[in-house]
């Protein structure tokens, strides 16, 4: 092929994209039992770590635009997982806080990471390799989020 750089097998982005989709598919069977989507799970993990934070803080942590996060948060409020209120210090900020239902979901979700690891770990890929891969991806994410690629 004249344009080797355009072969799918030579792309970095495709295996990352495919792995992400396949891992999310594995998550979804567990998340369906909790009646949440993967993006909602990500928001909940942020809030379980730091409750009562702004929409902008959630967007920053998840590397998503606020116009992507806001409809997700509205849906989660309707489901009873969170509340959305204006900040007392700055009314331009919308603060997100877990409800009791959202807090209780953490107990049910606690087993999900272990179940995922169990289905991914094989003779070909052990836990140390997974942790190393995650660490390297975090380096890549950190670099890309601070530097625009042209």
pLDDT digits (tens, 9 = 90+) for 10-37: 999 999 999 999 999 999 999 999 999 9
* Full set of structural domains in the chain with CATH: 37-108 (1.10.10.10)
Lowest mean pLDDT among 12-21, 103-112, 122-131: 122-131
Tens-place pLDDT, residues 50-66: 999 999 999 999 999 99
- Its pTM stands at 0.89
To the nearest 10°, the Cα dihedral for 87, 89, 93, 95? -30
| 3-state DSSP assignment of residue 82 | strand
- 53, containing H or E segment: strand 53-54
């Amino acid at each position: 092929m004249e344009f080797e750089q355009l072969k799918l097998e030579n792309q970095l982005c495709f295996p990352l994209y495919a792995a992400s989709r396949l891992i999310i598919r594995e998550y979804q069977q567990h998340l369906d039992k909790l009646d949440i989507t993967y993006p909602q799970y990500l928001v909940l993990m942020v809030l379980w770590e730091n409750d009562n934070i702004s929409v902008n803080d959630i967007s920053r942590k998840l590397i998503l635009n606020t116009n992507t996060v806001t409809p997700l948060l509205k849906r989660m409020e309707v489901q009873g997982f969170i509340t959305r209120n204006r900040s007392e210090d700055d009314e331009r900020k919308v603060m997100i806080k877990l409800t009791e239902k959202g807090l209780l979901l953490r107990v049910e979700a606690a087993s999900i990471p272990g179940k995922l690891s169990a289905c991914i770990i094989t003779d070909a890929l052990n836990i140390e390799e997974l942790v190393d891969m995650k660490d390297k991806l975090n380096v890549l994410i950190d670099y890309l989020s601070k530097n625009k690629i042209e």
